Structure formats: C-alpha cells, structure tokens
C-alpha cells in the first residue's frame, strides 16, 4: 500500500493502475480463506489467480540490500496492559503514538513511493512492511516533526511482509507492543499512517477489530502466501502499509499490511488487514539479529508464473516450471541452472507450477539436496541442487 509522493501524483497513479489491473480481475472465494492478489503498491484485490499471474508477469525479482548494521539485543516482546491502566480516548492515543509514527519514502527503479512505519527502539530501529522497501535503492524516513534521515535495511522477510530499517538517530520514543491474542471482535482500535503520501501524513482513522485469526491467501510472483491476520474496518489506503494498529491503551497490536479494494463489479469497504503483534514480535527479533527469518529454504530462482500446460502445448514445450532468473548466490546457479530452463520433475515427481515447488520445499530444510530434471533447448539434464536459506539469497 505504498503511494507515490505527492497527493495529485499519488491519486493519478493509483487510479491509472487500478483501471488497468481491475479489468483483469474477478472475485473468487476459497474454502481455505479469501483468495487475494497483492500488487506492488500493497493494494489487495479479489481476483482469479490466473489473471493475477498475468498482472505479475513482468515484475522483476525482489532485491533487498541487507547492510552490515550493528545488531544490538533489543527486546521485542508483547505485553498486556499494565495493572490499573485505563483505556485512552482516540485523541489521547494519537497524542501518545503519533510522534513515533514515521513516513517511509522509498525510491526504486519504478519511482518514489511512500509507506508508513513506527519506531521500535530509541536508537532508530523502525518496523515497516517488506513490500514498502523491497525494491528500494534509497530509503528516507520522515519523522513527525518533518525531519528526514537516510535509512538502511536491517532485515526483511517477504513471507511475513515485515521489514526493519534503521536511521542514525537516538533519543527516539518507541511504541510498546501489545498482546494481539487478547483482541476480540468489536474491540476499539486506531490506525495511524500516511495515506496517499506525505501530504496526509500522520492521519488517524478509528474503528474496531472486525475479525481475528483470519487466513487470507495472497498471490504474488513467488506463488501463494497464506497470512494469518487481524481484520479491521479502520480506513486504510495506499501509504498506510507498515503503520501501527493500536489498541485502546495505545499499544501496537497489529502492523497494517494490506486492504481489499473494489474491483470488477465488487464494491468493497472497510476491509483492512494487519499482521498481529504476537506474530510479528519474534520475526522482528530475527530480522534484527540475522537480517532474515530462519528456516525458510529456497532454490533461489524466480519463475514464469504465466507458464502453464496450455502455454507449453502452444510452443511445443514440456509442462513444468519455467525459470526466468537465478540468483548468483544460490547453489542452483553454481550447478548451472539458468533462465529459460524448464524444470519438469523434482526428485522424480512431476511439477507444473510454483505451488508444486513450494509444496516440496515445505517438507525440506536448508542444506537438503533436490534432484531437478531440466529441459533445455531439446535436451534433458539432471541437476542436483542444495536448498539455501531464503534470507541469504541476493539478486
């Protein structure tokens, strides 16, 4: 939900992108959750997975530079309200939390966008969404007083959509994490962020928890992601991504990540989602300590998610998973896997898409070896590839 800097530019770009993308999408529900599509600006639309794949066909691989930042032991814990703590009015919540909410201005090859974030330590560690900074070549943080500071990525995780960045400032006022497990339907909450860019920064919207323990399925260029989230009817818009969702005590119980927008004849209002604080806290601790979340094996490849059996038949190629990019830091690259290769089997079993590959990886760990059967220009090759930690991959 990153917006372009400047209200008019943001609005025009948002409308143009929506008009182009919405025409390709139809609403669909799945038994395991709501089928959603998250676009590069963080907007989520109800959509058919095949149409989503086409919308994502030209996206480049995610590229994040993890800098060699000192990683102090910062406690990342959640806490219930202190005994005797009284609920705050929304005005009191805003006054207490707004100084700790920042605008994240990220410049990428595709332009400049703005998201939100919040201060988690007095020496400049800030939490935001991965999708706010994932393509960024330069990041600037604007604090409530309008001061701007360059920021560097400490750690990021695509699966949880979390990122930690750091600015070289001390004496900041962090926000306390609250206990998201204590949230119930109807509990009052407030969101603070920067809808549509810095012109409307530090906007507060209020509402309730509309749903807890929601599983949403998001389609992106690496396949399906299932996220367990809090649902809220607080108004959230492009630019709110990464901002805090606060309980009645002013504690962060969620990190705004996505929303559903109207599209293809579906009129949608008040469907925002936040990563629960109890989910985020241990992951943020890993991002600070290691720069990535451990235990997520990967081949280190990007695949063509538009390639299916019908495309294969059309061009006289075998069905499988077509590779479009291979990280040079991966074992797959070292073993010779290259763009335009088609992986037809893994460990002897047929694969037809990224979902099949992900299903295999779920039962493996970094260091495990997979045997790939690869079609290349009329030849069939066998390549043994070692899975690596997803967070260690560089493109």
Domain of 284: which CATH number? Answer: 2.40.10.120
Read off the pTM. Answer: 0.72
Domain with 385, as residue range(s), is 297-392
- Which is more confident, 335 or 266? 335
pLDDT band at 310 (very low <50, low <70, confident <90, very high): very high
If asked whether residues 240 and 336 sit together in one domain, one would say: no
- Which of 259, 290, 321 lies at the terminal end of a domain, its last residue? 290
If asked whether residues 219 and 309 sit together in one domain, one would say: no
pLDDT band at 265 (very low <50, low <70, confident <90, very high): low
Per-residue pLDDT at 214 exceeds 60: yes
If asked whether residues 68 and 182 sit together in one domain, one would say: yes
The confidence score (pLDDT) of residue 221 equals 52
**One-character DSSP codes across 241-286:** TT-EEE-TTS-EEEEEEEEEE-BTTB---S-EEEEEHHHHHHHHHH
Q: Which among 121, 131, 136, 331 is annotated as catalytic?
A: 131
Per-residue pLDDT at 224 exceeds 80: no
Q: Which among 180, 210, 221, 241 is annotated as catalytic?
A: 241
Per-residue pLDDT at 260 exceeds 80: no
Residue entry with tokens 């929304």 = 90
Please give the average per-residue pLDDT across 135-156, as a whole number. 93
Per-residue pLDDT at 225 exceeds 60: yes
Per-residue pLDDT at 378 exceeds 70: yes
- Which of 260, 290, 320 lies at the terminal end of a domain, its last residue? 290
Report the CATH number that the domain containing residue 352 is assigned in CATH: 2.30.42.10
Residue entry with tokens 């705004």 = 256
Q: Which among 161, 331, 341, 390 is annotated as catalytic?
A: 161
Listed ranges 45-54, 77-86, 110-119, 376-385; the one with the highest mean pLDDT: 376-385
The confidence score (pLDDT) of residue 210 equals 94
If asked whether residues 207 and 246 sit together in one domain, one would say: yes
Helix, strand, coil shares of the chain as percentages rounded to 5?
20, 40, 40
If asked whether residues 79 and 173 sit together in one domain, one would say: yes
Structure tokens, 388: 């690596």
Residue entry with tokens 């701007």 = 148
Percent of the chain exceeding pLDDT 90 equals: 49
Instruction: Report strand pairing: 349-350 vs 188-193.
Output: unpaired
Give bridge partners of residue 156 from the DSSP assignment: 163
pLDDT tens-digit readout, 237-247: 888 999 999 99
Q: How many CB atoms lie within 10 A of CB 177?
A: 23
Cα angle 357-363-365, degrees, rounded to a multiple of 5: 95
Do residues 387 and 298 lie in contact, with contact meaning Cβ atoms separated by under 8 Å? yes
The confidence score (pLDDT) of residue 21 equals 35
Alpha helices of the chain — where are they, by DSSP H? Answer: 7-22, 49-55, 90-97, 130-133, 277-290, 309-315, 331-334, 354-361
If asked whether residues 281 and 327 sit together in one domain, one would say: no
Do residues 199 and 5 lie in contact, with contact meaning Cβ atoms separated by under 8 Å? no
If asked whether residues 166 and 21 sit together in one domain, one would say: yes
- Which is more confident, 216 or 173? 173
Nearest one of 391, 224, 381 to 298, comparing CA atoms:
391
The confidence score (pLDDT) of residue 67 equals 36
The confidence score (pLDDT) of residue 38 equals 44
If asked whether residues 125 and 243 sit together in one domain, one would say: yes
3-state secondary structure of 286: helix
If asked whether residues 148 and 242 sit together in one domain, one would say: yes
Q: Pick the range with the lowest mean pLDDT from 12-16, 98-102, 215-219, 342-346.
A: 12-16
Query: Residue 115 and residue 197: Cα distance in Å, rounded?
Result: 7
Per-residue pLDDT at 168 exceeds 60: yes
If asked whether residues 89 and 149 sit together in one domain, one would say: yes
Dihedral class, residue 336 (left if φ above 0, else alpha if ψ from -120 to 50, else beta): left
If asked whether residues 140 and 102 sit together in one domain, one would say: yes
- Which of 290, 312, 337 lies at the terminal end of a domain, its last residue? 290
How many domains, the chain?
2
User: HSE of 236 in the Cβ direction (CA atoms, 13 Å)?
Assistant: 35
If asked whether residues 207 and 350 sit together in one domain, one would say: no
Per-residue pLDDT at 65 exceeds 70: no
pLDDT band at 362 (very low <50, low <70, confident <90, very high): confident
161 among known catalytic residues:
yes
- Which is more confident, 70 or 320? 320
């Amino acid at each position: 939900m990153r917006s372009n800097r400047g209200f008019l530019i943001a609005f025009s770009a948002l409308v143009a992108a929506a008009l182009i993308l919405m025409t390709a999408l139809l609403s669909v529900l799945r038994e395991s959750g709501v089928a959603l599509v998250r676009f590069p600006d963080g907007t989520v639309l109800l959509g058919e997975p095949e149409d989503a794949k086409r919308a994502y066909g030209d996206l480049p691989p995610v590229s994040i530079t993890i800098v060699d930042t000192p990683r102090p032991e910062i406690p990342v814990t959640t806490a219930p309200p202190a005994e005797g703590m009284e609920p705050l009015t929304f005005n009191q919540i805003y006054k207490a939390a707004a100084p700790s909410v920042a605008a994240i201005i990220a410049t990428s090859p595709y332009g400049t966008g703005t998201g939100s974030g919040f201060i988690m330590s007095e020496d400049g560690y800030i939490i935001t969404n991965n999708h706010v900074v994932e393509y960024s070549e330069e990041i600037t943080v604007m604090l409530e007083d309008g001061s701007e500071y360059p920021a560097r990525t400490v750690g990021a995780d695509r699966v949880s959509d979390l990122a930690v960045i750091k600015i070289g400032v001390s004496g900041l006022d962090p926000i306390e994490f609250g206990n998201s497990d204590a949230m119930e339907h109807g509990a009052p909450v407030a969101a603070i962020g920067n809808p549509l860019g810095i012109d409307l920064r530090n906007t507060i919207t209020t509402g309730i928890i509309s749903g807890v323990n929601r599983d949403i399925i998001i389609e992106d260029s690496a396949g399906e992601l299932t996220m367990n989230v809090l649902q809220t009817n607080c108004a959230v818009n492009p630019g709110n991504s990464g901002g805090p969702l606060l309980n009645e005590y002013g504690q962060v119980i969620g990190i705004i990540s996505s929303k559903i927008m109207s599209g293809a004849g579906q009129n949608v209002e008040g469907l925002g989602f936040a990563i629960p604080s109890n989910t985020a806290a241990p992951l943020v601790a890993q991002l600070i300590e290691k720069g990535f979340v451990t235990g997520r094996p990967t081949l280190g490849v990007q695949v063509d998610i538009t390639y299916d059996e019908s495309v294969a038949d059309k061009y006289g190629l075998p069905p499988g998973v077509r590779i479009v990019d291979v990280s040079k830091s991966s074992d797959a690259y070292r073993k010779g896997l290259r763009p335009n290769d088609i992986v037809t089997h893994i460990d002897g079993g047929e694969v037809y898409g990224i979902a099949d590959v992900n299903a295999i990886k779920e039962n493996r760990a970094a260091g495990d070896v997979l045997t790939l059967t690869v079609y290349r220009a009329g030849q069939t090759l066998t390549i043994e590839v070692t899975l690596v930690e997803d967070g260690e991959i560089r493109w």
